[in-house]
Each structure stands twice: as structure tokens, then as C-alpha cells.
Amino acid sequence: MQQELEQLESAALDELARVSELSQLEAWRVQYLGKKSALTAVLRSLSSLSSDERKVIGARANSVKESLQNSLATRKETLSLESLDESLGASAIDVTLPGRPLPHGRLHPTTQVMGEICSVFAGMGFQIIEGPEVERDYYNFEALNIPETHPARDMFATLWVDAREDRNARLLRTHTSPMQIRLMEQQKPPLRFVVPGRTYRYEATDATHEWMFHQVEGLAIDVDITLRDLKETLFEFCKKVFGRDTGVRFRCDYFPFVEPGGEVAIECVSCKGAGCRLCGGTGWLEILGCGMVHPDVLSRCGIDPSVHSGFAFGMGVERVSILRHGIDDIRHFYSDDFRFLRQF
């Protein structure tokens, strides 16, 4: 019987060493230490043995029982630790890994170009100032030599805030030129200002026209300011922003609030002057209107035109951006398409 106990112990311990899951331990316990196990049968049979045999076999059977119980407890602890390690390993955070890049915002391409335009003029001695987007009819039209019945009102399809019949009616400014009047009313010459900001027109959109776009207005008033000052200022600006090799065209144009008036166009970036959809086949893209401030406008603002003269210009910011970056359609700017915006 003693030999039987030796074999039982070694078989049980061998099998226990092979148990690899906590859940299998109970089956092992039932088989080797349970009520119907061989060891329990030996312990139950002790009473039928002689007292000498009972002493020897009993002591051995109890030591096997104790050894199996201890081994079971040790194995249970080992397997518990292993499974804890595994679950920690699965959810552990590797703090040495590089972080995921977070998407971050940046300035809109229009804001970037507007800043660039303003800093070129700031370098020439112009101050930067902003003005209201909701304007009075007087500043947007009347004071700029565009009375109610003037055909030039058709140049500026207007979004009205109040009924347009009201002489004091408010509107969304169609250009930044009303700030010419506000500045000349508020300050005495010499004046040198640029005014960046949003403008609105009630018109259909296409590759070069939006209903909301940005302009930068320029105004310089002093003694002896001539058309030559205007042209040199604008050519210098074009050289700085578009480079020396880009074609610049200066032509006469009509605006009621300047005399003489002009427009500046830049060689089309898309077709290099050959003619394409973007430039409407002309090879040129107009970026600004300009001219010498009309004497009537000066007088209306309390500036004597026999003493002072000045020039003004109004530049389309998106048009400058289109030319700077080779963009084929103005509508990309406000489509909120990240694939477009991310490029700037």
C-alpha cells in the first residue's frame, strides 16, 4: 500500500505541473483529494489495518495528503500571478511611445495674404485701420459721388439691411471705399492708411467672383501727391508680392469717386498670359481699382483740393491669393474643404 501511495503522489504532482489554467485546478483537486479519490479511499481503509500497519500507512497517507494540498496552493498562486501579468500586459501603456499628432488650426489663406498685403504697405509708411461692415448709404455711395440715381450703383449690386428708399438706410458695404470718407472726416492730412476687411455683393459666383470677399483699401492724402506716386506705390507693391518677372498692367478705368481712375491687372498664373477659364481668356486678372481722389470728395470731407491731393485704391484679397498660390477657383476659399485649407 505504501508503494501505491508513492505512485499516487508522483502521478498527482506530475499532472499538477502540467495544469496551465486556473480553471483546471478544481478538476485536479477532485481527482486527487476529493471524496472519491484513491487517497481518500486509502485513508478510509486505515481502520481495517493492523495497528502497526495503520501507524506507518496512516502517517504516509497523511503526509501525501498534506504534500498534495500544499502543492495545489502553490500552483494556484503561480497560475494567478501569471494570469494577472497577462491581463496587465494587455492593457499596459507604453509611455515611451511617441504621441499621436493632434490636428491644429492655422490662419485661413485669406487672412495670411491679407496680413502679407498690409505688412508690405506698412513698410511703405501706411497705417492699418479697420471699419464697419454694416454701412450707411451715405458713406458707401453718396459721399463717394454716387447719388441715388447714378448708374454707377449698378457696379455694386447691394445687400440692403434697411429699405433702400430710406436716405439713412444701412447696407452691407460693397467695398472698403467708405472708409476713405470716414478717415478724411476724422483726420487732417497728411494721411496714409490701408483698410483690410470683408465686403459683400449681391452677385452670382463664378471662378473669380464671390458674394462675400475681402478688400484692402489704400488712401494717401498730402500736398503734391500725383498719379506718378500712385503708380509707383502700386508697382512697388506688385514687385514685392508677385516678384519682378510677373507682368503688371495699368489701364484707365472709371470710378465716380476718383479722377482719373485706373485698374491694375496681373498676368494670369494659370495660363501665363495665354488665356484660360480663370482669366476669362484675357491672360490678365484684375486685382484692384484705383485713382486720384476726386476734388468733390475731398471738399465734402473738408479738405481743400487746391492745397491737398491724394490717391486711393481698393484691392481684391482673394484675387491676390489666387495669383500668389496658383488657385484655379475663388470658391475653394469658403468651401470649408480641409484638403484645400491644409495646403496653406
Interface with ligand FA5 (CB under 6 A): 175, 177, 201, 203, 209-210, 213, 215, 255, 258, 261, 286-291, 312-314, 316, 318-319, 330
Task: Please state the closest distance from residue 132 (CB atom) to ligand FA5, in A.
Answer: 16
User: In angstroms, what is the minimal distance from the CB of 275 to ligand FA5?
Assistant: 19
Furthest-apart CA pair in the chain: how many Å?
Answer: 143
Shortest Å, Cβ 156 to ligand FA5: 7
Rank residues 153 and 319 by Cβ distance to ligand FA5 and give the closer one: 319
Closer residue to ligand FA5, CB minimum distance, 122 or 207:
207
**45 alpha-carbon distance from chain centroid:** 85
How far apart, in whole angstroms, are the C-alpha atoms of residue 62 and residue 85?
35
- Name the residue nearer to ligand FA5 (CB basis): 32 or 284: 284
Q: Please, what is the end-to-end C-alpha distance for the chain in angstroms?
A: 90
Min dist CB 200 to ligand FA5, Å, is: 9
Closest to ligand FA5 by CB, 39 vs 287, is: 287
Sign for the pseudo-dihedral over CA of 265, 268, 274, 276: negative
Closest CA to 232 of 314, 307, 290: 290
- Which is nearer to ligand FA5, 58 or 280 (by Cβ)? 280
Q: Are the C-beta atoms of residues 110 and 318 closer than 8 Å to each other?
A: yes
Q: Which is nearer to ligand FA5, 39 or 265 (CB)?
A: 265
Residue nearest to ligand FA5 as judged by C-beta position:
316
Q: What does the alpha-carbon distance between residue 107 and residue 5 come to, in Å, rounded to a whole number?
A: 84
Supply the minimum distance, in Å, between the C-beta of residue 244 and ligand FA5: 22
Residue (28 or 313) nearer to ligand FA5, CB: 313
Sign, CA dihedral 303-306-308-313, equals positive
Helix-helix angle 25-33:2-18, to 10 degrees: 180
Pick between residue 37 and residue 215 the one whose CB is nearest to ligand FA5. Answer: 215
| Rounded Cα gap, residues 291 and 210, in angstroms | 24
Assess contact for 75 and 13: CB atoms under 8 A.
no
Nearer to ligand FA5, 5 or 195 (CB): 195
